[in-house]
Chain A
Amino acid sequence: MKKFLFLVVLLLSTLLLAKPSRVAYVINGSLGDQSFYDSGYAGIKKLEEDFKVQTRVIECNFDPSLYYPSLVTAAQWADVIFVISYGFEEELKQVAMKFPNKIWVNIDTVVQDEKGIISSVDYREEEGAFLAGVVAAMVTTMTDLAGINPQKIIGAVGGDDDIVIRSFVYGYEQGAKYIDPEVQVKVIYVGTWDDPAKGKQAALQLYAEGADVVFQIAALTGFGVLQAAKEVGKYAIGVDSNQNPLVPGRVITSDLKEVGKSIYTVFKMILDGTFERGKVYSFGVKEGMVGLAIDEYTRKILPESVIEKIIDIQNKVASGEIKVEPYRP
């Protein structure tokens, strides 16, 4: 009897101990971009509320000398570490090797180590960008809308000239061509992720070259794009978080990348045991992790018939009826 009780206690305690209680969120940039990093932070906050876990955030502020100590610090404390590892994939592999018992989830890029410790959440961002391209091309051809010129030009402002942003642009171009093959896409890569002034300058240049809609793909830098749209009376498309309310009437829609929602989903999988180490989770429109934010701000700009058409195309992308080509470097 005693032995049995002991076993029960042991079993219960291991079950309780196995439940991860400390979650860290390590990012290469900084919070407050109202877009990419903040979306993940919202997910982390939700974990705190719903699962009563302790959470911590480390912001590296794009300072490469902080990447390694940040990961080491997080690994010493947390059970589960969510990482946005742009630029420190190597460090992530090294540190994960030193702390192989922790759960490592890398977000938005694919990092694979030989031992299969790190899991990745990879978004099919080209699908969301395709839809953004659809909206942009539709709007630039609707010459009856205020502020739209007859030229069929749309623009995009990217942070860095890197793989993820290029796949955004690739999807955006496909979406535009799907609506009207004559639409021309102009892209400016700014080279920073945290400088709204430069984003604004780039957007103003695109508007001056005849673009009616500019898609921002640049985290905090892109906030300047939204401001530029307000200044010249043209339109913009937000990214990652729902940015429609930031500049009402000028941001048509936002290409969502639900970092927070996927953190929440992955954490739930860890809790119920369906999570797999070393796996690459691919999230797209079908999983509801990528898509357009269509709300009352969109309805103020676009007529209902156009919105219906957009939603119809989104459903077709989700069902696989429309195939969006992924970008191959």
Chain B
Amino acid sequence: MNHVRPILQTILAIVFAFLVAAIFILLHRSSPFEVYGALYQYGLGSWFSFSNTLNAAFPLILTGLSASIAFMSGVVNLGQHGQFLWGALVCAVLGVYLRLPSWLAVPLLAILGGLAGAAWAGLAAFFKRRYRMDEFISTLMLNFLAEYMTLYLATYPFLDPKAYVPATRLIRPEYFMTGVFGVNVAFFVAFFMVFLCWWFAWRTWQGYEARMMGYNKLFATVGGCDVESDTTLILLFSGFLSGLAGALLILNGTQHRFTKGIGANFGWDGVMIAIMANNGVFQTFFYALFMGFLKNGAVGMEFETSVPSEFVMFLQSIIVLTLVGTRSGIASLTDWLRAKRELGKLVK
């Protein structure tokens, strides 16, 4: 019963969110049936669309996990964007110059990308430990540094002189990761990381300490947790996840090189997904898929119904906002109703 209620609440919230967005579509003088038809057709309608949705979701799953793991431990890592970029850049540059057999190189590049992300988050962890600097501000500011440093590296030292935008060279073709029936291998890696995160949070000593820290840091300290080491560990781990997302996007995305703006909005979408998912690991997976579906279907929406892209972004925000609002609204309403019923039984 405990598992069924949140699922029902989520379904209800999604339905309600689409209804609210439908009002705005009507105000825009388009037909909601047509718009949602296109969303379905391009997001889920065929195996081709469905596999594209899964491929669009894999970076979101990883950045979402990165944010979830951090937030569930009370560590405010907002540096997903920067960690993602460093993971992508290190992977893209090494992918050009590294000469190894591909079975060895591909996992190595992915892990090195992850470690680059972890190192960038590690800077924030170092500042936290050494100078008690709040990771909230340091990770946030490190995003800007990462953005411009990676852009500089891609525009000057590692520039592909034949590219039309600031970009590094293509990585060696034998390092391109493949797919299974159109689904990228990176998606399965992300899927595996979901289980790894679950195992870490619920089955390990450190994961337990981290969760306790998330509930109440002072209590965790009094209870004997090494809060400082745990915070460092969580920052490194969540940095690793973001960096891995960046590296996999290079290895198994569509670009196979670091280009200006490759980070898109993956980092911030990850933060949003973690908040939508209440920092739950499996919920993060679900909402990342949902965001991937919205993202992939939105292009079709824009295309079939000729609504401008700005309106599509507006609709996405409406859906996310209503969903989160409705879900917590329903949760508090049902809690209130139950409390009232229990009270009624007692008073009679």
Once the chains bind, are B306 and A56 in contact (CB under 8 Å)? Answer: yes
Q: Residue A88 at the B interface, CB < 8 A?
A: yes
The residues of A that contact B52 with a CB separation of less than 8 Å are: 68-69, 72
B217 to chain A, nearest CB (A): 36
Q: Residue A275 at the B interface, CB < 8 A?
A: no
Once the chains bind, are A68 and B254 in contact (CB under 8 Å)? Answer: yes
Of A66, A73, A89, the residue contacting B164 (CB under 8 A) is: A89
A329 to B265, CA, bound (A): 32
Q: Interface size (A, Cβ < 8 Å)? A: 36
A302 to B266, CA, bound (A): 50
The residues of B that contact A70 with a CB separation of less than 8 Å are: 299
Query: Which of A160-168, A170-178, A208-216, A242-250 is the interface stretch?
Result: A160-168
Query: Which of B224-232, B255-263, B314-322 is the interface stretch?
Result: B255-263
Q: Residue A63 at the B interface, CB < 8 A?
A: yes
The residues of A that contact B166 with a CB separation of less than 8 Å are: 160-162
Once the chains bind, are A191 and B309 in contact (CB under 8 Å)? Answer: no
Once the chains bind, are B309 and A61 in contact (CB under 8 Å)? Answer: yes
A57 to B304, CA, bound (A): 10
- B292-310 residues at the A interface, CB under 8 angstroms: 295-296, 299-300, 302-304, 306, 308-309
A194 to B265, CA, bound (A): 17
A298 to chain B, nearest CB (A): 31
A64 to B52, CA, bound (A): 15
- B260-298 residues at the A interface, CB under 8 angstroms: 260-262, 264-266, 295-296
Of A30, A58, A90, the residue contacting B170 (CB under 8 A) is: A90
A194 to chain B, nearest CB (A): 11
A24 to B302, CA, bound (A): 12
Once the chains bind, are B254 and A67 in contact (CB under 8 Å)? Answer: yes
Once the chains bind, are B300 and A86 in contact (CB under 8 Å)? Answer: no
Q: Residue B167 at the A interface, CB < 8 A?
A: yes
Given known pairs A109-B164, A161-B155, the reply for A73 and B260 (CB within 8 Å) is: no
Given known pairs A69-B52, A161-B155, the reply for A63 and B264 (CB within 8 Å) is: yes
A30 to B151, CA, bound (A): 22
Q: Residue A205 at the B interface, CB < 8 A?
A: no
Chain B 40-52, CB within 8 Å of chain A: the 1/0 string?
Answer: 0010000000001
- B102-127 residues at the A interface, CB under 8 angstroms: none
A329 to B262, CA, bound (A): 24
Q: Across the two chains, which residue of chain B brings its CB closest to A68?
A: B254
Once the chains bind, are A90 and B254 in contact (CB under 8 Å)? Answer: yes
Q: Across the two chains, which residue of chain B brings its CB closest to A70?
A: B299
- B139-173 residues at the A interface, CB under 8 angstroms: 151, 155, 161-167, 170
Given known pairs A69-B52, A73-B299, the reply for A87 and B167 (CB within 8 Å) is: yes
A65 to B55, CA, bound (A): 11
Q: Counting chain A CB atoms within 10 Å of each CB, which of B164, B255, B264, B300 scores highest?
A: B164
Once the chains bind, are A59 and B309 in contact (CB under 8 Å)? Answer: yes
The residues of B that contact A169 with a CB separation of less than 8 Å are: none
The residues of A that contact B262 with a CB separation of less than 8 Å are: 64
Q: Across the two chains, which residue of chain B brings its CB closest to A111?
A: B164
The residues of A that contact B254 with a CB separation of less than 8 Å are: 67-68, 88, 90-91, 94
Once the chains bind, are A64 and B264 in contact (CB under 8 Å)? Answer: yes
Q: Residue A74 at the B interface, CB < 8 A?
A: yes
Once the chains bind, are B264 and A65 in contact (CB under 8 Å)? Answer: yes
Q: Residue B56 at the A interface, CB < 8 A?
A: yes
Q: Residue A51 at the B interface, CB < 8 A?
A: no
Q: Residue A283 at the B interface, CB < 8 A?
A: no
The residues of B that contact A24 with a CB separation of less than 8 Å are: 303
The residues of B that contact A86 with a CB separation of less than 8 Å are: 164-165
Chain B 201-216, CB within 8 Å of chain A: the 1/0 string?
Answer: 0000000000000000
Q: Counting chain B CB atoms within 10 Å of each CB, which of A30, A66, A87 scores highest?
A: A87
Q: Counting chain B CB atoms within 10 Å of each CB, which of A72, A73, A74 scores highest?
A: A73
Question: Residues of A at under 8 Å CB distance from B?
Answer: 24, 30, 56-59, 61-70, 72-74, 77, 85-91, 94, 109, 160-164, 191, 329
Question: Residues of B at under 8 Å CB distance from A?
Answer: 42, 52, 56, 59, 151, 155, 161-167, 170, 254-257, 259-262, 264-266, 295-296, 299-300, 302-304, 306, 308-309
Not counting A59-B302, A65-B295, A163-B164, a sample of 18 additional A-B residue pairs whose C-beta atoms are within 8 angstroms of each other reads: A24-B303, A56-B303, A58-B303, A62-B261, A66-B299, A69-B42, A70-B299, A73-B42, A73-B300, A77-B304, A87-B261, A88-B254, A89-B164, A160-B260, A161-B155, A162-B163, A162-B165, A191-B151
- 23 cross-chain CB contacts under 8 A: A24-B303, A56-B306, A58-B299, A59-B302, A59-B309, A62-B261, A65-B59, A65-B295, A68-B52, A69-B42, A73-B300, A77-B304, A87-B167, A89-B163, A91-B255, A94-B254, A109-B164, A160-B166, A161-B155, A161-B166, A162-B164, A163-B161, A164-B164
